[in-house]
Amino acid sequence: MKTIFEEHEAGRGTAYLPSRKVDLGAYLPAGEIREELPLPELSEVQAVRHFTGLSRRNYGVDNGFYPLGSCTMKYNPKINEDTARLAGFAQVHPYQPEATVQGALQLMWELQRDLGEITGMDAVSLQPAAGAHGELTGILIVRGYHESRGDAKRTQVIVPDSAHGTNPATAAMAGFEVVHVPSDERGGVDVEALRQLASEKTAALMLTNPNTLGVFDERIAEIAEIIHAAGGLLYYDGANLNAVLGHSRPGDMGFDIVHLNLHKTFSTPHGGGGPGAGPVGVKAHLKDFLPMPIVTMENGQFHLSYAAPHSIGQMRSFYGNFGVLVRAYTYIRALGGAGLREVADDAVLNANYVLSLIKDHFELPFDRIPKHEFVVAPPEDLVRQKGVKTLDIAKRLLDYDFHPPTVYFPLIVHEAMMIEPTETETKETLKAFADTLCQIVDEGRENPDYVKTAPHNTVVGRLDEARAVKQPRLLERLGG
Amino acid sequence: MRFTPHTEEDRREMLRQIGASSVEELFSDLPQSVRLDRSLKLPEGLSESEVARLLSDLAARDLDMGQYVSFLGAGAYDRYIPSAVGELLRRSEFYTAYTPYQPEISQGTLQAIFEFQSLIAALTGLDIAQASLYDGATAVAEAAMLAWGQTGRERIVVARSVDPQYRAVLRTYAHGRGLEVLELPLRDGRAGAEDIAGAAEGAACVIVQHPNFFGLLEDVDSLVKATHEKGALYIAVADPISLAVLRPPGAYGADVAVGEGQGLGIAASFGGPYLGFMAVRQEYLRRLPGRIVGETADKDGKRGYVLTFQTREQHIRREKATSNICTNQGLMALAATIYTTLLGPDGLRQAAALSVEGAHRLGDGIGKVQGAELAFSGPYAAEVALRSRASVGDVQGAMLKAGMLGPLDLERFYPELPGHMLLSVTEKRTSEEIGKLLDVLQGVEA
């Protein structure tokens, strides 16, 4: 497909604004006025066809099954798209007086309260823009807490070797040294190793539970005890909350801080890479450290409160990705508490169902009851003798119109494939996917080259990633 | 409502296949002590028609910029968005997709980001742009981190005329890395090059917004010169619409340009989701935070796009990554790409020019209002800072009564500017609306 720069033809543009001539020289110093503006010109029809064409070269949840592990690619209800666009939400300026935005503030206040109930936390900030931004907020709260106690020796954040890359990156951004704790043979935190690592230097432990292997860390109470006894805080990465909604809450597991991914658990669309939202909840003793502002209620009136003495400050402009918050609020109101618990029930049921259908065809690094996702690897003979790897299976899935699972993560499993079906899929879809996976294993044994050169039915074949780095072409300019 | 399709019969069959007797059994590894032994205390679930009603009732409690004429700006603008932008953004192949990890089925998202990077590079006059950051404020903070990584220097200098929200976020991020933040004082509402010599000694960067938070043009040439004399990076904060008519950062010597892209076709939406952007000179490519898309080819030589230079990123580099950012503002970058493509160079220039013209019509009018005057003396673009005899609250009240929103109380962020306020003008504001605002100001001062 052509780019907008290749479609350019001077004079094709559409006038969307009044065409009145403005003499900029009357207002701005001559030397400041820009002369050249090398942007493409397309007619509206060209532009609409261009972007429609691009959309057809994309694959979303609405196109088909998307079992991308740790990403919770559930269906995004359409009502959410309508509510977020209501004029009273979308056409509201963040600096409007409080009295003119009571609806928006009430929505935020109720969402703070509801997310607190869902996670078992006492106070919630809706400000963070995404999961990693929530992590940074949480770890800065850790820093603020220890600093407020004059506890300067806590320089380390402990992160499991199965953690998302954002965890160690976040800890470093907040100025901490990252210490890795290994996993045990059952896929959980190696508690004995943790005991050795926990010390007066420990600022926090960052944990996902169920973890990235999809298994629930049964020794969570013991883990919390070790960290708390050492004087550290326990941070919950909410990427996998979908598995335990209504069953177990991070607050009840002993966590002090939690971030949520509204674009995972609470059905807001991922947008091809955002916007997300990463609210952060804390226990009462950390409430004063939350970023400002928080929405408060007094006599039925809602306010933006900046009165937090120990606040870590502000994490972004204004109050959060409000449009995303409206979608999540809509979802929570539609489902209610019972509906949310059913989400976890079926997310776990679906993962176990798919696993039961493929487990004889794949390697299982940990043979346990998974929660909402699980990790497998291709059979050894396929990898060793035929040279067919996880990447090849993923690419072959594209030919069958499935989005592949997350691959090569978590790092601790060789040739990992991490499968998260989510609760919104039918039994027939799950079965078809499982059958296809098994069929690809057979194909790999019979005709390995065909699988290794997949995909065969997509608009482009496997792309040369090395070339993208060696001969970088990161943008296009008008006229080439 | 529920979006779980299983019938009871489905569940039974699936459990039989799994070899479990109940769904509860699949949760049997959750220790009793951490289980929630009650229902979540949330309102009962609703039908779609009830949810729709609930949300429209809530939204109706807000005044919106469709009913009220907005003179609020200061980082978020009420601009005209062509219908085609909203229409295309609702293509669910775009909005229901994840980050483009599988390039063969994500060419739409990837090519759109490539085009976005190209447009941002063209607007800023710099060499390379990345895929997006959360918003203008975090883009400023990330730029400071880039400068720290590049120079190893632990002092960040920022002009006080930079958006107060951006400075607040910068302080939060800098505290994490243990960096010092120093502000250049206001000199008649602007940064002074003479202050840089002292402040920028051993600094990683100097951050200046142009036009600044008050809409004033900074003396960028002398600020850049003074910054580079100290070996610091010059970080320009720019509004993308203003870049259609003003000399771009690349042309006046900036090393990094960042900003808020909300003006490019994104609704004000009570503060988010917005769009941070960042463009840099070639030599800082490997220090960029977040995603970068590059062009390449498949084995048949067919052109395609991939996420590239990923060794900078958290999923590869972990604690050594340039940033922890993962999910960014992909769909907002798409909105900006569609908007900029539709408006083209003439449309973008016209949006900027009409805004500047309207602001000056307002500014000139304020000069004639007894009791009110422009707060600063320098040239300005599309925001008007003024001080008045009447209190900011009275002005706000009178405007609201007349069906208008504004102004922003500047004292809230600048204790040194009591009685000062900021009005903003976009291409949507008509001469009649500006005239009416001047009448209101006249009335409240009288």
Mean pLDDT for A3-8 is 98
How many whole angstroms separate alpha carbon B67 and alpha carbon B403? 8
Q: What is the CATH number of the domain that holds B429?
A: 3.90.1150.10
How many whole angstroms separate alpha carbon A13 and alpha carbon B42? 51
Nearest to A317 among B20, B165, B396 (CB): B165
- Sequence-distant (≥ 6) Cβ neighbours of residue B32 within 8 angstroms: none
CB spacing of A270 vs B14 below 8 angstroms: no
How many whole angstroms separate alpha carbon A207 and alpha carbon A383? 32
Q: Over the stretch A10-42, which tens digit does the pLDDT of each residue have?
A: 999 999 999 999 999 999 999 999 999 999 999
Nearest to B332 among A275, A320, A461 (CB): A275
Q: Over the stretch A375-429, which tens digit does the pLDDT of each residue have?
A: 999 999 999 999 999 999 999 999 999 999 999 999 999 999 999 999 999 999 9
Mean pLDDT for A444-463 is 98
Q: Which residues of B touch A81 (CB under 8 A)?
A: 90, 95
Q: Name which of A207, A214, A205 is nearest A233 in CA terms.
A: A205
Are residues B247 and B392 both part of a single domain? no
- Answer yes or no: are the C-beta atoms of A173 and A137 closer than 8 Å: no
Are residues B183 and B90 both part of a single domain? yes
How many whole angstroms separate alpha carbon A79 and alpha carbon A265? 17
Q: Which residues of B touch A275 (CB under 8 A)?
A: 134, 272-273, 327-332
B392 alpha-carbon distance from chain centroid? 26
CB spacing of B316 vs A165 below 8 angstroms: yes
Are residues B229 and B318 both part of a single domain? yes
Q: Over the stretch A60-89, which tens digit does the pLDDT of each residue have?
A: 999 999 999 999 999 999 999 999 999 999
- Answer yes or no: are the C-beta atoms of B235 and B144 closer than 8 Å: yes
Q: Which residues of B touch A86 (CB under 8 A)?
A: 55-56, 59
Nearest to B165 among A267, A314, A462 (CB): A314
Nearest to B134 among A120, A130, A139 (CB): A130
How many whole angstroms separate alpha carbon B398 and alpha carbon B442? 11
CB spacing of A37 vs B122 below 8 angstroms: yes
**Position A309 confidence tier, pLDDT thresholds 50, 70, 90:** confident
A243 alpha-carbon distance from chain centroid? 15
Crossing angle of helices A102-119 and A322-358, in 10° steps, is 30
Mean pLDDT for A293-312 is 95
Are residues B354 and B385 both part of a single domain? yes
Angle, CA A440 vertex, CA A434 and CA A442 arms, to 5°: 110
**Residue B206: inside a domain, yes or no?**
yes
Nearest to B91 among A52, A92, A100 (CB): A52
Q: Given this model, what pLDDT does residue B445 score?
A: 81
Q: Which residues of B touch A51 (CB under 8 A)?
A: 88, 91, 112, 334, 338, 341
Res A334 pLDDT > 80: yes
Q: What is the mean pLDDT of chain B?
A: 97
Are residues B384 and B317 both part of a single domain? no
Question: What would the DSSP string read from start to end of A46-85?
Answer: HHHHHHHHHHHTB--TTTS---BTTT------HHHHHHHT
Q: Given this model, what pLDDT does residue B223 score?
A: 98
The amino acid present at A57, given as its one-letter code, is R
- Domain range list for chain A: 79-335
Task: Name the residue of chain A whose CA is nearest to B290's CA.
Answer: A273
CB spacing of B14 vs A27 below 8 angstroms: no
Q: Given this model, what pLDDT does residue A307 score?
A: 84
Angle, CA B21 vertex, CA B17 and CA B22 arms, to 5°: 105
Pairing of strands A202-207, A156-160: parallel
Q: What is the mean pLDDT of chain A?
A: 97
Largest CA distance in chain A: 77
How many whole angstroms separate alpha carbon A235 and alpha carbon A223? 12
Nearest to B2 among A95, A168, A342 (CB): A342
**Residue B350: inside a domain, yes or no?**
yes
Query: In this predicted complex, what is the ipTM?
Result: 0.98
Task: Name the residue of chain A whose CA is nearest to B168's CA.
Answer: A314
How many whole angstroms separate alpha carbon A476 and alpha carbon A2? 12
Domain extent at residue B192: 84-338
Task: Name the residue of chain A whose CA is nearest to B355's CA.
Answer: A22
Task: Name the residue of chain A whose CA is nearest to B428's CA.
Answer: A17
Q: Which residues of B touch A345 (CB under 8 A)?
A: 23
Instruction: Name the minimum distance, in Å, from the CA of A110 to any CA of chain B.
Output: 10
B35 alpha-carbon distance from chain centroid? 41
Q: Name which of A424, A425, A407, A404 is nearest A416 in CA terms.
A: A407
Are residues B312 and B384 both part of a single domain? no
**Residue B38: inside a domain, yes or no?**
no
3-state secondary structure chain B: CCCCCCCHHHHHHHHHHHCCCCCHHHHCCCCHHHECCCCCCCCCCCCHHHHHHHHHHHHCCECCCCCCEECCCCCCCCCCCCHHHHHHHCCHHHHCCCCCCCHHHEHHHHHHHHHHHHHHHHHHCCCEECCCECCHHHHHHHHHHHHHHHHCCCEEEEECCCCHHHHHHHHHHHHHHCCEEEEECCECCECCHHHHHHHCCCEEEEEEECCCCCCECCCHHHHHHHHHHCCCEEEEECCCCHHHCECCHHHHCCCEEEEECCCCCCCCHHHCCCCEEEEECHHHHHHCCCCCEEEEEECCCCEEEEECCHHHCHHHHHHHCCCCCCCCCHHHHHHHHHHHHHHHHHHHHHHHHHHHHHHHHHHHHHHCCCCEEECCCCCECCEEEEEECCCHHHHHHHHHHCCEECCEEHHHCCCCCCCEEEEECCCCCCHHHHHHHHHHHHHHHC
- Answer yes or no: are the C-beta atoms of A46 and B80 closer than 8 Å: no
% helix, strand, coil for chain A, step of 5: 40, 10, 45
How many whole angstroms separate alpha carbon A257 and alpha carbon A238? 10
Instruction: Dig out the tokens for A31 from the structure.
Output: 């030397």
Res A480 pLDDT > 80: no
Are residues B111 and B212 both part of a single domain? yes
In terms of phi and psi (left: phi > 0; alpha: psi -120 to 50; beta: otherwise), the region of A191 is: alpha
**Residue B211: inside a domain, yes or no?**
yes
CB spacing of B324 vs A459 below 8 angstroms: no
Quote the DSSP letter at residue A292.
S
- Give me the residues of chain B with pLDDT under 70, please: none
Q: What is the CATH number of domain A79-335?
A: 3.40.640.10
- Where a domain ends, among B338, B368, B385? B338
Are residues B311 and B273 both part of a single domain? yes
Instruction: Name the minimum distance, in Å, from the CA of A52 to any CA of chain B.
Output: 7
Task: Name the residue of chain B whose CA is nearest to A269's CA.
Answer: B96
Q: How many CB atoms lie within 10 A of CB A6?
A: 12
Task: Name the residue of chain A whose CA is nearest to B32's CA.
Answer: A248
Mean pLDDT for A170-188 is 95
Q: What is the CATH number of the domain that holds B262?
A: 3.40.640.10
- Where a domain ends, among B274, B309, B338? B338
Instruction: Name the minimum distance, in Å, from the CA of B103 to any CA of chain A.
Output: 8
**Residue B15: inside a domain, yes or no?**
no
Strand partners, B131: none
How many whole angstroms separate alpha carbon B423 and alpha carbon B413? 15
Helix (H, G, I), strand (E, B) or coil at A467: helix
How many whole angstroms separate alpha carbon A140 and alpha carbon A128? 12
Q: How many CB atoms lie within 10 A of CB B33?
A: 11
- Answer yes or no: are the C-beta atoms of A429 and A436 closer than 8 Å: no
Q: How many domains does chain B have?
A: 2
**Residue B351: inside a domain, yes or no?**
yes
Q: Which residues of A touch B96 (CB under 8 A)?
A: 60-63, 76, 269-270
Q: Which residues of A touch B309 (CB under 8 A)?
A: 469, 472
Instruction: Give B247's Cβ-side CA count (13 Å radius).
Output: 15
Strand partners, B105: none
**Residue B27: inside a domain, yes or no?**
no
Are residues B154 and B294 both part of a single domain? yes
- Where a domain ends, among B280, B315, B338? B338
CB spacing of B304 vs A216 below 8 angstroms: no
Pairing of strands B372-374, B420-424: unpaired
Residue B109 sits at φ, ψ, to 5 deg, of -60, -45
- Answer yes or no: are the C-beta atoms of A296 and A91 closer than 8 Å: no
- Sequence-distant (≥ 6) Cβ neighbours of residue A342 within 8 angstroms: A335, A423, B2, B4
The amino acid present at B62, given as its one-letter code, is D
CB spacing of A39 vs B27 below 8 angstroms: no
Are residues B250 and B385 both part of a single domain? no
Q: Which residues of B touch A44 (CB under 8 A)?
A: 82, 84, 342
Are residues B353 and B327 both part of a single domain? no
Task: Name the residue of chain B whose CA is nearest to A130's CA.
Answer: B327
* Four-point Cα dihedral B30, B34, B37, B38, nearest 10: -110
Nearest to A343 among B4, B11, B27 (CB): B4
Q: Which residues of B touch A132 (CB under 8 A)?
A: 314, 324-327
Task: Name the residue of chain B whose CA is nearest to A472's CA.
Answer: B294
Are residues B263 and B233 both part of a single domain? yes
Query: Across the A/B interface, how many CB contacts are shorter than 8 Å?
Result: 675
Strand partners, B373: B387
Q: Given this model, what pLDDT does residue B446 score?
A: 78
Q: Given this model, what pLDDT does residue B20 score?
A: 98
Residue with tokens 């060209």, as numbered in its chain: A46
Rg (CA), chain A: 25
**Residue B28: inside a domain, yes or no?**
no
